[in-house]
A and B are shown apart, each in its own frame.
Chain A
Amino acid sequence: MECAVDAQSLISISLMKIHNSRTQRGGIKLHKNLLVSYVLRNARQVYIKEKYAEIYRMQQYEEVMTVCNEIQELNPLDPEPEDAEEEDLEVAALSCCAPLQDGGGKEPETSFYRSCCMETPGSPCDPFAGNGSHCNKTTVLDLDTHVVTTVENRYLHQDCCCSAPQCAPVPDSPVRKRKGDFGCCASDLEEVSDFSASRKRVRREECTDPNYTDTSNISNLISIFGSGFSGLLSRQADLEQICSKQALASLGAWTRAIVAF
């Protein structure tokens, strides 16, 4: 992409254009709407790819966290550093969350998905408003790529906001399929059989999300992970065996999402 473009805002801009074209003088311009739908498709493809990458990273994170717990269990003689580690993690998580609740000061380079932390209770995007614990945000370091990202702890964003089947996009299908094609909480855009007829409903995207990365908190985490895993690497093989069951269990939520994609 030629510039740092936000796939999600492109989607909402495009939907607004389509919506406005319905009231334009002279009727719906077929050509322009067709071109806008191509931008929608392109933005959606990027959006989905990024989401998938997030899931992958979450999966990695899950495994990492499971291994972390394993380390704790395996070294009961040395509680202090581990406790401190946990505390640091929590502190980091909280400090990451807090600014987000203010509305996220920074303009993100790319946004992957809406942050549940952003939603006020009772908003349409968050039927589980009462369960704030579902949506803790944490900044994590991906050991493979050394990329630091902000993810939600445990739950895929989609699970919070809507039921998975509705949010199941089909990546290769042309953009002009029925609703549910877009990611979670995207506006409902129903295609009608003739472009010249007016579209049924276009719900504007209400949720916006910054992808929040705070470099100052990250440096703490890097040191945490660095110290935490120095012993891990040598015992990776053993741990993999022990962790596998837990890892598999935690993947339950993910497999549903992955299949949906």
Chain B
Amino acid sequence: IAAGSVCAIVCDMQWCFSQVKGAIDDDVAEADIISTVEFNHTGELLATGDKGGRVVIFQQEIENKNYPQLRSEYNVYSTFQSHEPEFDYLKSLEIEEKINKIRWLPQKNAAQFLLSTNDKTIKLWKISERDRRADGYNLKEEDGRYKDPNSITSLRVPVLIPMDLMVEASPRRVFANAHTYHINSVSVNSDHETYLSADDLRINLWNLEITDRSFNIVDIKPANMEELTEVITASEFHPNQCNTFVFSSSKGTIRLCDMRASALCDKHSKLFEEPENPSNRSFFSEIISSISDVKFSHNGQYMMTRDYLSVKIWDLKMENRPVETYQVHEYLRSKLCSLYENDCIFDKFECCWNGNDSVVMTGSYNNFFRMFDREHRRDVTLEASRENSKPLQVLKPRKVCTGGKRKKDEISVDSLDFNKKILHTAWHPLDNIIAVATTNNLYIFQDKLTG
């Protein structure tokens, strides 16, 4: 690595473009809007869900002859329709087919399994490869027609012959009719046998094998709905304590629950909450303090929450305040009124950890995304755009001008495109490869320096 190289090296990483998936034209079909992105546990597979109810799975290529240093080439592995639009006749409501979350199960055998969910129904999908087929049947022709029995003169044993790889996705379980409100999260337990699903007011515990019943473990629905003050916004199992999970609320609190304490975990074991700064009080204080995502660190010692303007890192041993707070786009604080009018203030940004929990990442507007290096206390803003999409082109850090004279290469707050939002990002569990979803495109970037 040459010292004084032109491209800024931030966080000891130099991010460069790898691939972009999706349609090029600006006219975005609503069904193509990406609604979730998730790497599997090895990082070999990358799944996306969209508003049209489809799941697309990409697989990492082992090696690219033209670009040997490009270890992050992902190609389509499987595509299937996970959910269809439904109609609830009792409530006269349409149920959207949009995939809210995908979560991979740890691999147990040759096949891969994932959970995908829309607002009401969770499905367990098996994705398996078939690269051989049987040939030489006695009674059937190649095309499947039955032979004339009189023409059969000898007997043979069918053999398996290679065929072109075929990837099949089949729904193995359908977990339905357990949620009155809209499902926002699913999380697989570290015991690999159970998982939780959370909607606005309730969290249910399922066994992956059993579809006709689930246990309700959290219920915050008040007796009188007029007294409703908060909803559940996200929930996740602890990465290695199978009895522990957290759920975040619209009031900016996180509750940690221990399933050993009682059957119904309404009473939390820990309550994480930071007192509000009274000088920041506005009409929109409640909205911007609502937590949109919560993620445990891989080591299980910390958790990260995302609210509208910031990312917070919490030490599980300290409830009264986060240990780190990172401002994602503080310059939006003075624009909250217009962001309320155009509904952007309700955007639910997700966040993610890198493999060793040293860097966290989240999205913003104008197709910007932000990384915060916890160790070195540095942060960077990068952009996912077609302009910077030559193979292995290094991303230049971006800067938003918040006032005064705008420097060259800076972008002013008023020029930001609020229709271009990055809500979903994912980090490869073992490598510095990231997947960043713009409205309908999936960008894959890799770090040039490591590996």
Q: A interface vs B, CB < 8 Å?
A: 1-3, 5, 7, 10, 13, 17, 25-27, 29-32, 34-35, 38-39, 42-43, 46, 174, 176-177, 191-196
- Interface presence of B273 (CB below 8 A): no
A-B contact pairs, 9 of them (CB 8 A): A26-B94, A26-B98, A30-B181, A31-B290, A35-B346, A39-B340, A42-B285, A43-B283, A176-B227
B71-116: which have CB < 8 Å to A? 88, 91, 93-96, 98
Q: CB-CB contacts of B175-207 with A at 8 A, as 1s and 0s?
A: 000001110000000000000000011000000
Cα of A26 to Cα of B96 in the assembled complex, Å: 5
What's the least CB distance linking A59 to chain B, in Å?
Answer: 28
What's the least CB distance linking B224 to chain A, in Å?
Answer: 7
**Is there contact, CB below 8 Å, between A5 and B290?**
no
**Is there contact, CB below 8 Å, between A1 and B282?**
yes
Q: State which of A10, A174, A191 has its C-beta within 8 Å of the C-beta of B283.
A: A10
- Interface presence of B28 (CB below 8 A): no
**Is there contact, CB below 8 Å, between B287 and A35?**
yes
For A195, what are the chain B residues with a Cβ–Cβ distance below 8 Å? 225, 228
**Is there contact, CB below 8 Å, between B283 and A30?**
no
Cα of A245 to Cα of B167 in the assembled complex, Å: 92
**Is there contact, CB below 8 Å, between A2 and B287?**
no
For A13, what are the chain B residues with a Cβ–Cβ distance below 8 Å? 340-341
Secondary structure at the A interface, as helix, strand, loop or mixed, is loop
What's the least CB distance linking B197 to chain A, in Å?
Answer: 16
Cα of A27 to Cα of B224 in the assembled complex, Å: 20
Stretch at the interface among B131-139, B330-338, B382-390: B330-338
A10's closest neighbor in chain B, by CB?
Answer: B283
**Is there contact, CB below 8 Å, between A196 and B91?**
yes
With A13-B341, A38-B286 known to touch, is A30 a contact of B226 (CB < 8 Å)? no
Q: B interface vs A, CB < 8 Å?
A: 88, 91, 93-96, 98, 119, 180-182, 200-201, 224-231, 233, 250, 280, 282-287, 290, 333-334, 336-337, 340-341, 343, 346
Q: State which of B95, B231, B336, B343 has its C-beta within 8 Å of the C-beta of A2.
A: B336
B288's closest neighbor in chain A, by CB?
Answer: A35
**Is there contact, CB below 8 Å, between A5 and B287?**
no
**Is there contact, CB below 8 Å, between B226 and A3?**
no
**Is there contact, CB below 8 Å, between B340 and A34?**
no
A1's closest neighbor in chain B, by CB?
Answer: B282
**Is there contact, CB below 8 Å, between A193 and B200?**
no
Q: A30-B181, A43-B283 are in contact. List 14 more A-B contacts (CB 8 A).
A: A1-B283, A2-B334, A2-B336, A26-B182, A27-B93, A27-B95, A31-B233, A35-B287, A39-B283, A39-B286, A39-B287, A174-B227, A192-B225, A196-B181
With A2-B282, A27-B94, A31-B250 known to touch, is A38 a contact of B287 (CB < 8 Å)? yes
**Is there contact, CB below 8 Å, between B250 and A35?**
yes
For B93, what are the chain A residues with a Cβ–Cβ distance below 8 Å? 26-27
What's the least CB distance linking B346 to chain A, in Å?
Answer: 5
**Is there contact, CB below 8 Å, between B226 and A191?**
yes
**Is there contact, CB below 8 Å, between A30 and B182?**
yes
For B231, what are the chain A residues with a Cβ–Cβ distance below 8 Å? 30-31, 34
Cα of A2 to Cα of B182 in the assembled complex, Å: 33
For A39, what are the chain B residues with a Cβ–Cβ distance below 8 Å? 283-284, 286-287, 340
For A7, what are the chain B residues with a Cβ–Cβ distance below 8 Å? 283
Cα of A163 to Cα of B181 in the assembled complex, Å: 39
Q: State which of A25, A46, A176, A192 has its C-beta within 8 Å of the C-beta of B96.
A: A25
**Is there contact, CB below 8 Å, between B283 and A34?**
no
With A34-B231, A39-B283 known to touch, is A5 a contact of B226 (CB < 8 Å)? no
For B280, what are the chain A residues with a Cβ–Cβ distance below 8 Å? 2
For A5, what are the chain B residues with a Cβ–Cβ distance below 8 Å? 283, 337
With A25-B94, A26-B96, A27-B91 known to touch, is A196 a contact of B180 (CB < 8 Å)? yes
With A3-B334, A5-B283, A31-B233 known to touch, is A26 a contact of B341 (CB < 8 Å)? no
With A26-B94, A39-B340, A196-B180 known to touch, is A34 a contact of B250 (CB < 8 Å)? yes
Cα of A32 to Cα of B280 in the assembled complex, Å: 21
- Among B228, B230, B343, chain A packs the most CB atoms within 10 A around the CB of B228
Q: State which of A17, A30, A35 has its C-beta within 8 Å of the C-beta of B290.
A: A35
Would you list the 5 A-B pairs with minimal beta carbon distance, nearest first? A38-B286, A26-B96, A27-B93, A42-B283, A30-B200
Cα of A174 to Cα of B225 in the assembled complex, Å: 12
**Is there contact, CB below 8 Å, between A31 and B284?**
no
Cα of A7 to Cα of B230 in the assembled complex, Å: 23
For A177, what are the chain B residues with a Cβ–Cβ distance below 8 Å? 226
For A176, what are the chain B residues with a Cβ–Cβ distance below 8 Å? 226-228
For A29, what are the chain B residues with a Cβ–Cβ distance below 8 Å? 182
For A38, what are the chain B residues with a Cβ–Cβ distance below 8 Å? 286-287
What's the least CB distance linking A189 to chain B, in Å?
Answer: 12
For B336, what are the chain A residues with a Cβ–Cβ distance below 8 Å? 2-3
**Is there contact, CB below 8 Å, between A193 and B290?**
no
Cα of A26 to Cα of B287 in the assembled complex, Å: 21
With A34-B231, A176-B228, A196-B180 known to touch, is A26 a contact of B119 (CB < 8 Å)? yes
For A196, what are the chain B residues with a Cβ–Cβ distance below 8 Å? 91, 180-181
A32's closest neighbor in chain B, by CB?
Answer: B346
**Is there contact, CB below 8 Å, between B333 and A2?**
yes
- Among A2, A32, A191, chain B packs the most CB atoms within 10 A around the CB of A2
**Is there contact, CB below 8 Å, between A35 and B286?**
yes
Cα of A7 to Cα of B180 in the assembled complex, Å: 34
